[in-house]
Amino acid sequence: MFSGESSLVGGQVLPYAQCYGGHQFGSWAGQLGDGRAITLGELINSHGERWELQLKGAGKTPYSRFADGLAVLRSSIREFLCSEAMHNLGIPTTRALCLVTTGKYVTRDMFYDGNPKEEPGAIVCRVAQSFLRFGSFQIHASRGGKDMEIVCALADYAIRNHFPHIENMNKSESLSFTTGEESSSAVDLTSNKYAAWAVEIAERTASLVANWQGVGFTHGVLNTDNMSVLGLTIDYGPFGFLDAFDPTYTPNTTDLPGRRYCFSNQPDIGLWNISQFTSTLSAAKLINSEELNYAMERYGIKFMDDYKLIMTRKLGLAKYNKQLIGELLNNMSVDKVDYTNFFRLLSNIKTDPSVLDTELLVPLKAVLLDMGKERKEAWTNWVKTYIHEV
């Protein structure tokens, strides 16, 4: 069943490959679609939740274009491990149910150096409540005419099945939407479910990206066709985690010239992608310009709120300290300090002001390597400030 050889028992729909479009590297790429992903079906579990089971690497689909629709064991293991790691880090993500080898070999150029080799083929079954993407709506809006009705129908489907609290918000006394103190205008989201939906997608996306920044995860291919309307980490291609802290890090070799999708750009790219999605809803006349702008405003506010909280907790601070965190990230960038191991070792710092300056950096010596006097002084000063703040 999980190699695609037999049908899914009890599935709500027949197997299908999804058609969508997308902005790739900032430019509209037209029709794309599931080139190597096939949805086996959708199941309703004992909690009444809808879950979609999707095979990646099972072969050609109508959207494979000139590719073979296959996957190799190497990349499939990476997706399996990383998606499960992200889930257990508390970061919204598609998950991996199982992984099977095909017994066949697939030719791939692992290092993109013009030397393709045969590798074992594999199929990963990934699971999410939905694999709907921003691009699922964009493709129909781009065609115009009757396809605009599909944008509305797809939005209704998504809200009904995955955002039922919005579908029923007029009946719920406990559900309220406020603009917050930082908002320049009030938007009544209870009068338009599509506006409320757009705002929730913007906030889910902002929270997702904030979580990525917190653990040093770099997606690598943040095209709009790789953005989930549920706010999930989706499509584990050339992803990577920061080792040495480098804000310009990108795991995607095709992104190297402009580094559009590098680590430090992810928050802005998330906003840019939200602007494309909300523009699609606006083109379909589901939201107006004021509601569009408010969704984007909420993205910015939600991102900063979540990011501040994540970094405050990461440092064990009682409250957010912009200057302290800014100086830390600058120091880490200058000295290429390991992002994850630094925070692990930081937990060994004793909040004792009587510790001698010459001893302050001892707990961090495994990550503060080959530094001269000036850099040691910079780190000593930061640690002293940190001890005072904790």
Map tokens 């479910």 to a residue.
193
Alpha helix ranges (H) inside the chain: 73-88, 134-143, 147-162, 164-167, 193-215, 266-283, 289-315, 322-335, 339-346, 373-389
Q: What angle do CA 102, 81, 2 make, to 5 degrees?
A: 35
Q: What is 151-203 written as a DSSP string?
A: HHHHHHHHHHHH-HHHHTGGG-SS------TT-SS---GGG-HHHHHHHHHHH
Return d(Cα 80, Cα 125) in angstroms, integer: 9
Burial of residue 241 (CB within 10 Å: 0-12, 13-18, 19+) is middle
Contacts of 173 (CB under 8 A, 6+ apart): none
CA distances from 196 to 75, 116, 202, 229, 271 (A): 37, 48, 10, 13, 17
């004992």: which residue's tokens? 46
Residue range 129-185, pLDDT digits in tens: 999 999 999 999 999 999 999 999 999 999 999 999 998 886 544 444 454 445 445
What is the edge-to-edge ordering of all strands in the sheet holding 50-56? 37-44, 50-56, 117-128, 95-108
Nearest-Å Rg of the Cα atoms of the chain is 23
- Residue found under tokens 């770099």: 218
Please tell me the predicted confidence (pLDDT) of residue 172. 46
- Tell me the per-residue pLDDT of 223-250, one tens digit each, with 9 for 90 and over: 999 999 999 999 998 999 999 999 999 9
Nearest to 130 by CA among 43, 30, 15, 14: 43
Residue 225 bears catalytic tag:
yes
Out of 68, 156, 225, 335, pick the active-site residue.
Answer: 225
Tokens of 355: 């510790």
- Bridge-partner residues for 121, per DSSP? 72
Three-state SS for 132? Answer: coil
Q: What element of type H or E holds 107?
A: strand 95-108
Q: Is 358 in contact with 259 (CB distance < 8 Å)?
A: no
Residues 6+ apart with CB under 8 A from 297: 183, 184
Annotated domain spans of the chain: 21-128, 134-239+248-310, 322-389
**In which residue ranges of the chain is pLDDT below 70?**
170-186
In order, the DSSP letters of 313-341 are HHHT-SS--HHHHHHHHHHHHHHT-BHHH
User: CA–CA separation, 194 vs 196, rounded Å?
Assistant: 5
CB atoms within 10 A of CB 271: 17
**Residue 327 class from Cβ within 10 Å (0-12 exposed, 13-18 middle, 19+ buried)?**
middle
Supply the pLDDT for residue 170: 67
